[in-house]
Chains A and B, each alone.
Chain A
Amino acid sequence: MTPPLIGEDPDADLLRRIARGDAAAARAMVGAKLPRLLALATRMLGDAAAAEDIAQEAMLRVWSQAPRWKPGKAKFDTWLHRVALNLCHDRLRRSRREVLVDEVPDQADNDPLPDAVLLTAGTGERVAAALQVLPLRQREAVVLQYYQELSNMEAAEVMEVSVEALESLLSRARRRLRLLLADDGHDA
């Protein structure tokens, strides 16, 4: 595998090889991206089966995009996160569980906890349920910046907002999560 040139997209070499039909490059791409896509979709949707569908669909987009990928525009990983988020939006829109705007005002932080949070037992499950309670844009901000470990500028680019707007979404999300998770003696 050719090491990336300074300033070159780290995925550029894999994409070139995939465009030539290189199966080893495809396996390397799956190894690198599929776990991150699955993690993103699982945390966005709170539904393991739906998340697998999203991750698989996003990988299909990788295969079709590779021959057309133009280095020098957005980073490939940023593009792929946006694709995965859009697929999550479509899924949520179809299931009519969400609205796509951050409509919930800050004072809603003091609302009673939803049953989904109160009834789940394990800590991981409680966090998963608490994430699903967040307004969609707040959830996206936490998933991209905290869990996917994108930089603030990358997360803002994926969400197509300013860094200041991202920080505001993150602050509100974390404040609400702290309230949701502190209820039963949890250390949040």
Chain B
Amino acid sequence: MTPDRLAQILAAYGAQPERWPEDERAAALALLEADDTHRRNEEALDRALDRFAVPHPDAVLVGRSLAGFAASTSLLRRWWFAPLLAGAGALGMATGALILALTPMDRRAGWGDEHMTIFSAPAEIEETTL
């Protein structure tokens, strides 16, 4: 530790040793015992800086911040829900494909007629509006 380096540390980090680089602290303190003029100068600035206090967050800000957490934990955003939803969808598709594969072709013939209601609705609406 040289006097120049000690001056640099004080100029950059201020007078409080706990703010100094940890690996240089002991050597800097030892050197300071000989002459602490620089340190006294920096202490004055530290005291001034400490006067800029910031109030703690009020209840409204705390509430707003926690509301953000509540929103983030809604079902769709939970980490476990997306894979669950995707898994259920895949299972449904696989079941449908399996039923289709196991059903003989001749039994599938009538399916279209039985389930036409939904698909024919637009045509009916079209007819009535024309």
Chain A positions within 8 Å of B, measured between CB atoms, are: 18-21, 23, 26-27, 30, 34-35, 38-39, 42-43, 52, 55-56, 59-60, 63-64, 67, 123-124, 127-128, 131, 142, 145-147, 149, 151-152, 163, 166-168, 170-171, 174-175, 177-178, 181, 186-188
Contact = CB atoms under 8 A, between A and B. Distances in A.
Interface stretch (B27-35, B43-51, B103-111): B43-51
A147 B50 CA distance: 8
Interface residues of B, number: 32
B61 A174 contact: no
Interface in B1-26: 8, 11-14, 19, 21-22
Contacts of A21: 73, 78
Given A56-B64, A188-B48, A35 B57 contact: yes
A171 B8 CA distance: 8
Interface of B: 8, 11-14, 19, 21-22, 42, 44-45, 47-49, 51-54, 56-57, 61-62, 64-66, 68-70, 72-73, 78-79
B69 A171 contact: no
A32 B37 CA distance: 37
16 contacts: A18-B69, A23-B69, A30-B65, A38-B56, A38-B57, A38-B61, A39-B54, A43-B54, A56-B64, A128-B52, A142-B49, A151-B22, A170-B11, A175-B11, A187-B44, A188-B48
B45 to A, nearest CB: 5
B57 A55 contact: yes
5 nearest CB pairs, A to B: A127-B52, A170-B12, A63-B72, A188-B48, A26-B69
Contacts of B69: 18, 23, 26, 30, 59, 63
Contacts of A43: 52, 54
Given A55-B61, A127-B51, A188-B45, 6 more contacts: A23-B66, A60-B72, A168-B12, A171-B12, A187-B44, A187-B48
Q: Is the interface of A mostly helix, strand, loop or mixed?
A: helix
Given A27-B66, A34-B61, A171-B11, A64 B49 contact: no
Given A123-B51, A127-B48, A174 B66 contact: no
A178 B61 contact: no
Contacts of B66: 23, 26-27, 30
Nearest to B44: A187
Contacts of A34: 57, 61-62, 65
A163 B24 CA distance: 13
